Chain A
Amino acid sequence: MFKIAIVSAAGGVGRSTLTASLATLLAQRGISVLALDFDPENLLSTLLGSDEVSLGGLLPDFLTRKAFGMSALVNSNEVACLPFGRSNEASLVTFEQHLRTEPEWLKKCIAQIDYPPGAFLLMDTPRLPSIYARQAMVAADLVLAVLAPDVRSLALLPAVEVALSRCAPGHQPIYVMNGLDSTRALQSDLLAQLRSSLQLRLSPHPIHRDEAIPRAVANQANLQSLSPDSLVAHDLNGLLSWLLAGPASSHDGRTYI
């Protein structure tokens, strides 16, 4: 199983959106995929089409000492999703306490999951710095950092690198830009700047800002079938192909760039 953690140092840049979209796209290409929501926000299952916010999930399972992954759901697109589950302050404190004492908890739990070879695991995380994101990065084969096309993302770039090198020394994240408005010269310039500094570690397929995304969420519909000829659908396809052909193709799962 190839494990990807989707992280970012800034909030609201589209981590969850990207996780959900990539998971759907993978399933569409006939690749088994599990989307794991490791964010107390507990929104991923909604993005993947569940009607109400999931009550069950990995946190309740942990608290009730059930096996990891028991509450996974499968949507109509064949995407399996393990929600975070409903939480409250007290349960989060207990959980985070446990995570702090056992940095490889998530990694071990994932190792127990019996999944077909060639399957993908996508992990949504809260913004960095975060104990959840740390666990996910430790568990991941590949860390995909999402950047917004603004100066803030640029300034926070080192934060991502530092966080990752602390969890998995010697590893570097790969980057993807989300929410690009290419009609703005400033954003295109920023992209060019990032391209020249990150080079091959930046996906050549930035994801554009596109009304098709909120529209798909509002309609609880699959982006690819709702607006197949939208730019963002094209971008996501490009990103996935690039991932599969490059960063996510190495045999032992680890990328060395």
Chain B
Amino acid sequence: MRHFLLWAARHLGVFRPDQLGQWLRRLIWLPNADELAASTRLEVRSRLDPLGWLAKELGVIDKRSVRQWMLYLFIFPPGRPARTETSFWSTFLALSVHIIGLLFSNVVWILSAGVRALRWLWQRLLSFLPTVNHQAVGRRLEGWLETSSFRKPWLLWLLVLFSIFFFWLVVTTPFTWFGQFLFLVCLWGTALFVRRIPGNLPALILIALSVLASCRYGWWRLTQTIPLDSGWETFLAIGLLLAEIYTWLVLLLGYIQTAWPLKRHTLSLPADVALWPSVDVFIPTYNEPLKVVEPTVLAAKGIDWPSDKLNIYILDDGRRDDFRRFAKEAGVGYIIRPDNAHAKAGNLNHALKLTCGEYVAIFDCDHLPTSSFLQSTMGWFYKDKRCAMLQTPHHFFSPDTFERNLGTFRKVPNEGALFYGLIQDGNDFWNATFFCGSCAVLRRGPLEEVGGVAVETVTEDAHTALKLHRLGYTTAYINIPLAAGLATESLSSHIGQRIRWARGMAQIFRLDNPFLGKGLSFFQRICYGNAMLHFFYGIPRLVFLTAPLTYLYFEVHIINAAAAMLALYVLPHILQANLANAHIQGAHRHSFWAEVYESVLAWYIILPTTLAIFNPGAGKFNVTAKGGLIEHSFFDWAISKPYIVLATLNIVGLSIGLGRLFFWNTFEMGTVLLNLTWTIYNILILGAAIGVATEARQVRVSHRVSANLLVALHFTDGSTKMCRTEDYSMTGLGLILDQELELPVKERVWVSLWNDEVEFAFPTRVIASHGNKLGVQFDNLSIEQEANLVQCTFARPDAWSNWSNEQGADRPLQSLIEIAAFGFKGYRSLWRNLGKGLARQRQLVRGWLGRQVI
């Protein structure tokens, strides 16, 4: 037997006969010549008992237990310490989760293989076509629009009329399936061509194509696909239709909102410093620890502005003594009030009455401004005398919940990136920049004219801006991070914050609806309207997450159309929307991530938004806690309940669907397949949402920012060494040296950092020293030293300017695969924690039983 094996191995070119994989490979691929030569020298270690060997490799202890074999073959990762005791239930659960995981990965694999094949075909096809110089096309296109013949009003009107007519024609004409297929291909081909042209014009063309496809789909859905026969079906169908209309509307409004991002740059101030206005900086705080507020105040103190024209105030709604003491020591103002009416808005309004600067800059207590904040922003108030508010992005140097729990920090644009990277720039074009409560400057006059910061709603910021816009004031947005802060630290606080936003937006929608009332331009109404409508995604998202189940469970056809026809209509709609959005938003939001972000929140914002619509006065203001610490990784069961329920429903739906596909509904395979695809997509997205609920441990209290800054070390013997930082925080530095250096822990070292050209030295102690890495901790810094530290680190003008350089570009397919992987990981984490939870439960029960017996 052994001889035969060796013989076969040699002839097949298997030079490691103990590896099964190689056998398999060799049976399919032929080895090349030198590999064959190498195999003549092969040796074989005897494997008398292959089963025993396999068991040992896998970690199976009881070779006769089928269950253990199952577990170790399919579930546990190899090399895992042997587990002796596993219950039947956990095996069952593990198996099912694992099988589903396998299914996912297979589906993903098949999909990506299909796409790869398609891409190859596409490439072949393209190679037949003549190459196009997209740059030249872009230039010609723009030159064309510049020509004066295009400027004639009658021509424009003619064009508009013609376009509308053409549009109407395309949207309403019914096609056969082949016609619709051609429509899809034409649109898609055009989009693929157009999106390579540089400039902003292609974005508009892509938007037009997307609107065309979506409207055509909408028209078809409205006129042809509503089942009108049975009551139950019609009810569900209309539910889905409404959800679709909502997304369609938000899509269209979003296109208008972001059609032409303004991308304002900074303006310089007059050279004569005497002309610069006075600015009050407000730092409202309620219950945040001093440790969080301190750096912000010190950073604000360091803002480059004539010192007699810069007044900083801590607005302490917590009325704490240590804050008062700190304010005195730091030499900044300290304002308190007798009550906490209207929370942050009330706090700001109270301070407005006691101060008199011409401008007011507002920073949340954990947003550190850079020293160039005012010099970069105030120029616009000079240029535009009607400008009442200027907003800058909220930049976060710590990972938010999504980034931390999914491990995507600085790799995938985060949730806020779309708003601050694109939407605000888009709003700015329509003079509809929203005030976001922090990192902004307001002109005192207009602010007082609208009665200070709005107190009627819980999103006082957006509402204040709305009031300013109604009075005809202008606003500005500068998309340069000039301040940075901590992101919310846990999923629950993230959800709490978003609930507040959603509720506030719904309140404004009820109390001061932007579509009604005086003073706003059409496009301002659209920008505000979209921002508010956006927060009503809760119910539609839930509808989409459950819609395929109605068919899979009950065989209810909520779309009355043949599956193939539906696919042909819906595909251009989805495809064009994705292409357009990837083009417009790609740098700020990767494809499919919106689904994840929304699915996490959907369930939680339904109630607050609905309540706020019916009773805008109900509920109270909750403050977002920040600067906290998650000491142990844990799974947030309470928060993830809705996702688990939805995921279970979808998974059951998937299994039923498989039954329908193969046994019960073989006569309408298309419909089953369509619904199955939809469910699988939902399952993936929900998996990612579950993954977000696995709270990863947060190691440090003060977050470390990675940066490469020049540092000098001064040792006690008078010698020095230059090195660079790996990261910094308010408590210490991580350093990288050129050479290895062993320093005893607790050794005193002075560390110099530079702010521009000025050097500051700080006393530190060594806390870790390995090879060429050194960790030092600051040693009792004085307030002045802390202020200098902030200026050398967080408050450097360019501290956040290259933040997203490492982010990859948006690749829709890769994004989908990424999310699928996160989905899978989410289920794995769910399963692991389920096991732990069950074990704990069982222990509890056993303990209880034990007590009963005694």
Contacts and interface: CB of A to CB of B under 8 A. Distances in A.
A230 B714 CA distance: 9
Contact of A183 (B714, B717, B723, B739): B714
B718 A210 contact: yes
Contacts of A188: 759-761
A234 B722 CA distance: 8
With most chain A CB atoms within 10 A of its CB, the pick from B717, B722, B737 is B722
Contact of B752 (A182, A211, A227): A182
A211 B717 CA distance: 8
Contacts of B737: 229
Interface in B772-818: none
Contacts of B750: 182-183
A231 interface: yes
Nearest to A238: B757
The interface residues of chain B, by DSSP majority, are classed as: strand
A192 B763 CA distance: 20
Contacts, number: 51
B852 interface: no
A215 B720 CA distance: 12
Interface string A182-199: 110000100010010000
Interface in A37-64: none
Interface in A202-256: 204, 206, 208-212, 215, 227, 229-234
B716 to A, nearest CB: 10
Contacts of B712: 208, 231, 234
Contacts of B738: 229
Nearest to B720: A231
Contacts of B721: 229-231
Interface string B722-765: 11000000000000011100000000001010000111110100
B720 A232 contact: yes
A215 B715 CA distance: 15
Interface in A153-210: 182-183, 188, 192, 195, 204, 206, 208-210
Contacts of A209: 718
Chain A, interface size category, equals 20 to 34
B719 interface: yes
A108 to B, nearest CB: 40
A231 B714 contact: yes
Nearest to B718: A211
A204 B759 CA distance: 10
With most chain B CB atoms within 10 A of its CB, the pick from A183, A192, A206, A234 is A183
B761 A231 contact: no
A230 B737 CA distance: 11
Chain B, interface size category, equals 20 to 34
B718 A231 contact: no
A182 B739 contact: no
A229 B718 CA distance: 14
B719 A182 contact: no
Contacts of A212: 719-720
Contact of A230 (B720, B757, B761): B720
Contact of A211 (B719, B757, B759, B761): B719
A232 B750 CA distance: 15
A231 B761 CA distance: 13
B791 to A, nearest CB: 13
With most chain A CB atoms within 10 A of its CB, the pick from B712, B714, B720, B737 is B720
Given A182-B752, A183-B750, A211-B717, A231 B722 contact: yes
A215 B717 CA distance: 12
A183 B761 contact: yes
A183 B763 contact: yes
Interface in B699-715: 712, 714
B191 to A, nearest CB: 52
Contacts of B752: 182, 231
A147 to B, nearest CB: 16
A229 B761 contact: no
Contact of B719 (A183, A204, A210): A210
A206 B752 CA distance: 13
B788 to A, nearest CB: 10
Given A182-B714, A183-B763, A208 B720 contact: yes
A227 B718 CA distance: 13
With most chain B CB atoms within 10 A of its CB, the pick from A204, A208, A231 is A231
A182 B717 contact: no
A182 B722 contact: no
Contacts of A208: 712, 720
B720 A192 contact: no
A238 B759 CA distance: 13
A112 B739 CA distance: 48
A188 B738 CA distance: 27
B720 A210 contact: yes
A204 B717 CA distance: 26
Nearest to A231: B720
Nearest to A212: B719
Nearest to A182: B761
With most chain A CB atoms within 10 A of its CB, the pick from B717, B737, B752, B763 is B752
B729 to A, nearest CB: 21
A229 B719 contact: no
Contacts of B717: 211
Nearest to B751: A183
A192 B722 contact: no
A234 B752 CA distance: 13
B251 to A, nearest CB: 55
A230 B719 CA distance: 7
Nearest to B757: A204
A188 B752 CA distance: 12
A37 to B, nearest CB: 27
With most chain A CB atoms within 10 A of its CB, the pick from B712, B721, B750, B760 is B712
Contacts of A231: 712, 714, 720-722, 752
With most chain A CB atoms within 10 A of its CB, the pick from B758, B760, B761 is B761
A69 to B, nearest CB: 37
B671 to A, nearest CB: 71
Nearest to A195: B758
A127 B119 CA distance: 79
Contact of B723 (A206, A210, A215, A229): A229
B709 to A, nearest CB: 14
Contacts of B739: 229
Contacts of A229: 721-723, 737-739
Nearest to B739: A229
Nearest to B715: A211
Nearest to A230: B720
A150 to B, nearest CB: 17
Interface in B599-640: none
A25 B793 CA distance: 31
A182 B718 contact: no
Contacts of A183: 714, 750, 761, 763
Nearest to A210: B720
A186 to B, nearest CB: 12
A229 B712 CA distance: 9
A243 to B, nearest CB: 15
A81 B757 CA distance: 33
Nearest to B713: A231
A227 B720 CA distance: 9
Nearest to A233: B722
Nearest to A209: B718
Contacts of A234: 712, 722
Nearest to A181: B714
Nearest to A208: B720
Contacts of A232: 720
Nearest first, the 6 closest Cβ-Cβ pairs linking A and B are A231-B720, A211-B718, A211-B719, A182-B761, A204-B757, A183-B750
Interface of A: 182-183, 188, 192, 195, 204, 206, 208-212, 215, 227, 229-234
11 contacts: A182-B750, A182-B752, A188-B761, A204-B757, A208-B712, A211-B719, A212-B719, A229-B739, A230-B719, A231-B720, A232-B720
Given A230-B722, A231-B721, A231-B752, 6 more contacts: A183-B714, A183-B750, A183-B761, A208-B720, A210-B720, A231-B722
